[in-house]
Chain A
């Protein structure tokens, strides 16, 4: 079955970096986009952007440029989210989700989702 498995929780100090992984299985990795979604504690879902797994081209949502980097290792069907210069406000659950539909255009739904990776930033 199609599955997205993310790396484990991270505890980081302000100013550090973190790299979250998302390993896909059960389908051809390069046939579907990977989206990233943030959920701050007690808050709603916020789309961070997506990466085209065929071209490697990332697209970042407003508010997620500069410190956020999406990357891939297609040889192991894995997507990565790296966040640098971590701030307390980055404390959140981060989800990857496979993009289904015409994700290059406007018609893209997220299915399935990874289990989430909790990133905690604290001194």
Chain B
């Protein structure tokens, strides 16, 4: 059971907007620690997608955006494309575990 909770799956049609939630508690996201998001395309290593809650690394399209409020964070993807089909993970730090933690991952299916 992951400390950060994500929906197992989300789906959307090409061109639509989807959001993926990441719910934590007062020991992690709620304690003020930043949330980072990773994209893992099938058969590949994860790649940093969003860092420090809402920043995109160079090369990441602006269709991807992140937000954080209270004990939760969200990843939004607009203008869905077939190539966005992947697993998405949130990551933060947990003070009770004294370590970094991942969400359980969300599989995005583009219909």
Contact = CB atoms under 8 A, between A and B. Distances in A.
B101 interface: yes
Contact of A109 (B2, B45, B48, B105): B48
A106 B46 contact: no
Contact of A113 (B47, B52, B103): B47
A107 B34 contact: yes
B102 to A, nearest CB: 4
Contact of A44 (B48, B52, B104): B104
Given A45-B105, A46-B102, A111-B57, A106 B2 contact: no
- Chain B, interface SS category: strand
A109 B99 contact: no
Given A44-B2, A45-B46, A107 B99 contact: no
Given A108-B93, A109-B91, A116-B45, A47 B52 contact: no
Nearest to A115: B45
B64 interface: no
A112 B49 CA distance: 11
B92 to A, nearest CB: 8
Given A45-B105, A115-B45, A62 B93 contact: no
Q: Chain A interface: which size bin?
A: 20 to 34
A78 interface: no
Interface string B33-64: 11010101000111110011000010000000
Interface of A: 35, 37, 44-47, 49-50, 59, 61-62, 95, 97, 100-101, 106-116
Interface of B: 2, 33-34, 36, 38, 40, 44-48, 51-52, 57, 87, 89, 91, 93, 95, 97, 99-105
